[in-house]
Amino acid sequence: MFFISAIAPLFPPLLATAEAENAPIVSSGVLLSLVAIYFASKLGAEVSKRLDFPPVLGELVAGVVIGVSALHLVIFPEGGLQATDSAVMSVLQWINGLTPEALNSVFQSQSEVISVLAELGAIVLLFEIGLESDLRQLQAVGTQATIVAFVGVAVPFAVGTVGLMMLFNVAAIPAIFAGAALTATSIGITSKVLSELGRLKSKEGQIIVGAAVIDDVLGIIVLAVVASLAKTGEVDVMNVIYLIVSATAFLLGSILLGSIFNKTFVALVNKLETRGNIIIPAFIFAFFMAFLGNAIHLEAILGAFAAGLVLDETDARNELDELVKPIADLLVPIFFVTVGARADLSVLNPLIPENRAGLAIAVFLIVVAIVGKVATGWAVFGQPGINRLAIGVGMIPRGEVGLVFAGIGSASGVLDKPLEAAIIIMVILTTFLAPPFLRVAFGQSEEPPTGGEPSMEATAVSKT
Amino acid sequence: MFFISAIAPLFPPLLATAEAENAPIVSSGVLLSLVAIYFASKLGAEVSKRLDFPPVLGELVAGVVIGVSALHLVIFPEGGLQATDSAVMSVLQWINGLTPEALNSVFQSQSEVISVLAELGAIVLLFEIGLESDLRQLQAVGTQATIVAFVGVAVPFAVGTVGLMMLFNVAAIPAIFAGAALTATSIGITSKVLSELGRLKSKEGQIIVGAAVIDDVLGIIVLAVVASLAKTGEVDVMNVIYLIVSATAFLLGSILLGSIFNKTFVALVNKLETRGNIIIPAFIFAFFMAFLGNAIHLEAILGAFAAGLVLDETDARNELDELVKPIADLLVPIFFVTVGARADLSVLNPLIPENRAGLAIAVFLIVVAIVGKVATGWAVFGQPGINRLAIGVGMIPRGEVGLVFAGIGSASGVLDKPLEAAIIIMVILTTFLAPPFLRVAFGQSEEPPTGGEPSMEATAVSKT
């Protein structure tokens, strides 16, 4: 492993020294960025909650406000942005009096750290969603939910992709990526709105939640396939088949292996006597699965999700849920806020003529996102008198997984700015529109008084 | 803030694209490194615990094993090490088939991310120690503990620094740094051993623990001063006075402000309705104080420690303690393991003649570390019949804070490799020797059976 060390001294000692000297400044930049991110996320979440919208929406909007579209507090070195554009870097520059070269190097380093922290946030988010998705509950809602889920993935994906290619001349890979971003319903937002309406236990509610869970799984598989296509840059049918098979095999294989690993994990955890006896083995597993997801050219989050599904089957589940919560609380907002911060919504400013193509794409995506999911209600059969419209409308809100698509697309450079901004706008609007639409679909003008649920980002299906 | 964006396009688009393409590989590297770090830390902690040593010692030794001294699983681009020296990078290279340039760039990026994660680990560690240090308890043990603490800081610092300069011709700054690394007693290790011996509530035990807490505070102030000296590279008496005054003022000021902020914090937390209502405001405060510590040219950990002391005075304390634990469990091991991993113990191999100077320094540091603390027992007055030897021996184990010294010294390039290795060896040996020494000093050959405490890294003084 260590045998080629003689060649390629690409990093002269001078650079290494400069980096060592700048190390505390990089940490300062990371700390200040995190303070800005946390402050924005909490403010956004609380305002959103007060206005009766899901907190995640507020975090996303807060990200847009502190990001490249407005305050420039948290920006990334992409699209020609420099250290001097960043408010955090200006503070560091004012405190430390750095040279432009040193400042740009600090900017580069701290942006990389924040990006990886955001990705760890996405990994922990999907790990938590996996931990809270109950496979047995899915079997109970059965066939109807599965049909709704498949239709709700297939229709928006197909219409979105083909529409973008035919109507807007978008290239195949970004069109497929954007189409894929239309697929996954937000479990968290959907189940929260249903519970607020007092309809979570209705037949419609059960089908919606069940379909949303299956949807999430399908969405993650679609993302893994699409992101992998984006890496190779080609649409090769054999490759698509390979990816779908490997993603499905990876997920099913982990679940099957999980039923064996299950007991080993609990036995191991019970034998450990030092601090972190549950959380460290759980994260070794989650991070290793995430690494494996990356290594077989799928996605890290698919691995984290599979790890969550597996550990959900263990007896350490409830304790683990409690321990993962504060970690998710700390890491997940970094992900949501940076997705918003990276999105340059100025490319959709309707006052500038050349933006109108991007705006038209955004409008198209929103229409497909709504119509494609509303159509799913009519896929339900053998259920006379069921509220088909309510089921379809219940599937509208995109959220966490849609944002993961936008985040990965943006980080990998597949999506151009207008398309990325259009996806973000689509996620924001479907999330805004779902609660009032759902009230109308259920024929309620006033909400019945309910307790509501304290958490939403990954509340999902409650445990049995 | 954004007005100089026209100048200095230092990062051509090509580089930005290459970095975007490498982003998933950087994450893969971080994930794999974290898996290695967590696995090593848990294995080390558990073996250490079984052998009746403190778990932190095992994490440190495990770090040495997976680091530059042995397995090369987790290494950093310093001292001429290349990506090809890293086992994690070899795996990534094997999976992704990168060019040497891309591989080195990934190595550089993932090392920076791991370094910042380790520093966040140190920040969370000191935040937790701050949360668990009870100021009122210190007032109770009073004068004796204060005298023991001051003598225990002054003697090893003075003897260590002067000895290194006179006997070994070490330059002033590294000598002061190494002297400072001799000062801080480990609260965690000391209180754990005392509790195992059933002597925590004895007069000696109370003085030791009280002194260890004061010691930690003094140690952090000394570190802030020394690290700042290291940055400027000069020993200027006025600057030293400024730093001591500013560090003390920062710490006392935060505690005083804390008594006001206290109620605001609880009122704020009670008003928040979304997830992370306690943890996010607490970490905004901790990270902001850490940033402030850096910004006024002290240390981030001093700010985090002050934030912990302040929040310990709030009513949200107990809940916060619980929430910080899993976060510390996840971040702190990264710090301990990377300190071990960075330490190149091969520079102390006695078979190589040129290493003998370094070895002699290590022996000298260990002797000063032990003698300097044992001497403190004789500083106690007005306590006839007290076990002076036990008090002195109880102050021997260095630990967390000593490692923070080594970590910062190594990252900032102040300490050369032999001196850094000597400090690590000193921390390891004092921690190894303290438990048997303390048993002898208390005249016990067998331990009385006690329950022991589940956690050690920051157990410290239990809350009233």
CB A41 within 8 A of CB A333: yes
Distance CA A196, CA A198 (A): 5
Residues 121-150 of B with CB under 8 A from A: 123
Domain assignment present for B81: yes
Distance CA B19, CA B21 (A): 5
Give, as one character, the DSSP assignment of residue B445.
Answer: S
B104 vs A11: CB contact, 8 Å cut-off?
yes
Distance CA A149, CA A391 (A): 11
The reply to whether B112 touches chain A by the CB within 8 Å rule is yes
Q: Is A198 exposed, middle or buried (0-12, 13-18, 19+ CB in 10 A)?
A: middle
Distance from the B143 Cα atom to the nearest Cα atom in chain A, whole angstroms = 34
ipTM of the complex: 0.81
Residues 320-339 of A with CB under 8 A from B: 323-327, 329-330, 333
Task: Provide the sign of the torsion angle of the four alpha carbons B54, B56, B59, B64, taken in this order.
Answer: negative
Which of B75, B90, B115 marks a domain boundary?
B115
Q: Are residues B238 and B356 in the same domain?
A: yes
B31 vs A2: CB contact, 8 Å cut-off?
no
Domain assignment present for B98: yes
Domain assignment present for B5: no
Please give the residue of chain A at the shortest CA–CA distance from B70. A2
Q: Are residues A162 and A106 in the same domain?
A: no
One-letter amino acid at B171 equals: A
B5 vs A82: CB contact, 8 Å cut-off?
yes
Please give the residue of chain B at the shortest CA–CA distance from A59. B274
For chain A, give the secondary structure using H, E and C: CCCCCCCCCCCCHHHHHHHHHHHHHHHHHHHHHHHHHHHHHHHHHHHHHHCCCCHHHHHHHHHHHHCCCCCCCCCCCCCCCCHHHCHHHHHHHHHHCCCHHHHHHHHHHHHHHHHHHHHHHHHHHHHHHHHHCCHHHHHHHHHHHHHHHHHHHHHHHHHHHHHHHHHHCCCHHHHHHHHHHCCCCCHHHHHHHHHHHCCCCCHHHHHHHHHHHHHHHHHHHHHHHHHHHHHHCCCCHHHHHHHHHHHHHHHHHHHHHHHHHHHHHHHHHHHCCCCCCCHHHHHHHHHHHHHHHHHCCCCHHHHHHHHHHHHHCCCCHHHHHHHHHHHHHHHHHHHHHHHHHHCCHHHHCCCCHHHHHHHHHHHHHHHHHHHHHHHHHHHCCCCCCCCHHHHHHHCCCCCHHHHHHHHHHHHHCCCCHHHHHHHHHHHHHHHHHHHHHHHHHCCCCCCCCCCCCCCCCCCCCCCC
Distance from the A123 Cα atom to the nearest Cα atom in chain B, whole angstroms = 10
Residues 209-268 of A with CB under 8 A from B: 231
Domain assignment present for A10: no
| B275 contact residues in A (CB cutoff 8 A) | 45, 55, 325, 329, 454-457
Residue ranges making up the domain that contains B60? 13-115
Residue A264 exposure: Cα atoms within 13 Å on the Cβ side: 9
Distance CA B274, CA A33 (A): 21
Q: Are residues B210 and B260 in the same domain?
A: yes
Cβ neighbours for A340, distance < 8 A, ≥ 6 positions apart: A59, A60, A61, A62, A63, A64, A65, A67, A424
Q: Which of A21, A34, A117, A274 to mutate to test the interface with B (most CBs of B within 10 A)?
A: A274
Residue in A27, A274, A329 nearest the CB of B119: A27
Which of A255-264, B55-64, B188-197, B266-275 is the least confident region?
Answer: B188-197
B82 vs A8: CB contact, 8 Å cut-off?
yes
pLDDT tens, chain A, 464 aa long: 333 333 333 333 333 344 455 777 899 999 999 999 999 999 999 998 898 777 888 888 899 999 988 899 999 887 678 888 899 999 998 888 888 888 999 999 999 999 999 989 989 988 987 887 766 666 666 788 888 989 999 999 999 999 999 999 998 888 988 898 898 887 666 776 777 677 877 888 888 877 887 787 787 778 777 777 777 766 677 777 877 788 788 888 887 887 777 788 888 899 998 888 999 999 999 999 999 988 887 778 878 888 988 888 788 888 999 999 999 999 999 988 988 888 888 877 888 887 888 889 999 999 999 999 999 888 887 777 888 899 999 888 886 677 777 777 777 778 888 888 888 888 888 877 877 788 888 875 444 434 333 333 343 333 33
Please give the residue of chain A at the shortest CA–CA distance from B288. A35
In the block, residue with structure tokens 């909650």? A49
| A291 contact residues in B (CB cutoff 8 A) | 28, 31-32, 35
Please give the residue of chain A at the shortest CA–CA distance from B295. A95
Domain assignment present for B1: no
Domain assignment present for A446: no
B7 vs A457: CB contact, 8 Å cut-off?
no
The reply to whether A111 touches chain B by the CB within 8 Å rule is no
Q: Are residues A136 and A83 in the same domain?
A: no
Q: Are residues B185 and B261 in the same domain?
A: yes
One-letter amino acid at A204 equals: E
A84 vs B7: CB contact, 8 Å cut-off?
yes
A411 vs B294: CB contact, 8 Å cut-off?
no
Q: Which of A93, A94, A116 to mutate to test the interface with B (most CBs of B within 10 A)?
A: A116
Domain assignment present for A447: no
Distance from the B252 Cα atom to the nearest Cα atom in chain A, whole angstroms = 22
Residue B245 has pLDDT above 50, yes or no: yes
| B293 contact residues in A (CB cutoff 8 A) | none
A274 vs B45: CB contact, 8 Å cut-off?
yes
| B95 contact residues in A (CB cutoff 8 A) | 295
One-letter amino acid at A405 equals: F
| B10 contact residues in A (CB cutoff 8 A) | 82, 100-101, 104
pLDDT at residue B322 in the model: 93
The enclosing domain of B153 has a CATH number of: 1.20.1530.20
The reply to whether B98 touches chain A by the CB within 8 Å rule is no
Q: Are residues B181 and B65 in the same domain?
A: no
> CA-CA distances (angstroms) from residue A126 to A301, A325, A441, B277, B298?
6, 12, 30, 21, 38
Tens-place pLDDT, residues B364-398 = 999 999 999 998 888 887 777 888 899 999 888 88
Q: Are residues B49 and B144 in the same domain?
A: no
Cβ neighbours for A433, distance < 8 A, ≥ 6 positions apart: A370, A396
A284 vs B113: CB contact, 8 Å cut-off?
no
- Which stretch, A277-281, B20-24, B97-101, has highest mean pLDDT? A277-281
B280 vs A333: CB contact, 8 Å cut-off?
yes
Q: Are residues B235 and B198 in the same domain?
A: yes
Tens-place pLDDT, residues B132-183 = 776 666 666 678 888 898 999 999 999 999 999 999 999 888 898 889 889 8
Residue, of B348 and A388, whose pLDDT is higher = A388
Q: Are residues B93 and B110 in the same domain?
A: yes
pLDDT at residue A140 in the model: 65
pLDDT at residue B235 in the model: 67
Q: Are residues A277 and A381 in the same domain?
A: yes
Distance CA B239, CA B336 (A): 31
The reply to whether B8 touches chain A by the CB within 8 Å rule is yes
pLDDT at residue B141 in the model: 66
Domain assignment present for A147: yes
Residue of B425, B452, B400, B365 lying closest to B56 (CA atoms): B400
Strand (E) or helix (H) holding B363: helix B356-374
Number of domains into which chain A is organized: 2
Q: What is the separation, in whole angstroms, between the first and last Cα of chain B? A: 49
Distance from the A181 Cα atom to the nearest Cα atom in chain B, whole angstroms = 19
Q: How confident is the model at residue B220 (pLDDT cuts 50, 70, 90)?
A: confident
Residue, of A255 and B362, whose pLDDT is higher = B362
CB A419 within 8 A of CB A365: no
Q: Are residues B137 and B106 in the same domain?
A: no
Report the mean per-residue pLDDT for chain B.
81
Residue of A381, A414, A224 lying closest to A301 (CA atoms): A224
A291 vs B77: CB contact, 8 Å cut-off?
no
Residue B407 has pLDDT above 80, yes or no: no
CB B28 within 8 A of CB B35: no
A9 vs B82: CB contact, 8 Å cut-off?
yes
Q: Are residues B67 and B183 in the same domain?
A: no
Q: How confident is the model at residue B350 (pLDDT cuts 50, 70, 90)?
A: confident
Distance from the B419 Cα atom to the nearest Cα atom in chain A, whole angstroms = 18
CB A422 within 8 A of CB A403: no
B280 vs A41: CB contact, 8 Å cut-off?
yes
Which of A68, A86, A115 marks a domain boundary?
A115
A8 vs B100: CB contact, 8 Å cut-off?
yes
Residue, of B304 and B381, whose pLDDT is higher = B304
Cβ neighbours for A330, distance < 8 A, ≥ 6 positions apart: B276, B279, B280, B283, B327
B281 vs A42: CB contact, 8 Å cut-off?
yes
pLDDT at residue A463 in the model: 35
Please give the residue of chain A at the shortest CA–CA distance from B324. A326
Residue, of A182 and B194, whose pLDDT is higher = A182
pLDDT at residue A430 in the model: 85
Neighbours of B315 (CB within 10 A): 13
> CA-CA distances (angstroms) from residue B237 to A268, B71, B225?
55, 44, 11
Structure tokens at B332: 């702190």
Please give the residue of chain B at the shortest CA–CA distance from A48. B274
CB pairs under 8 A between A and B: 249
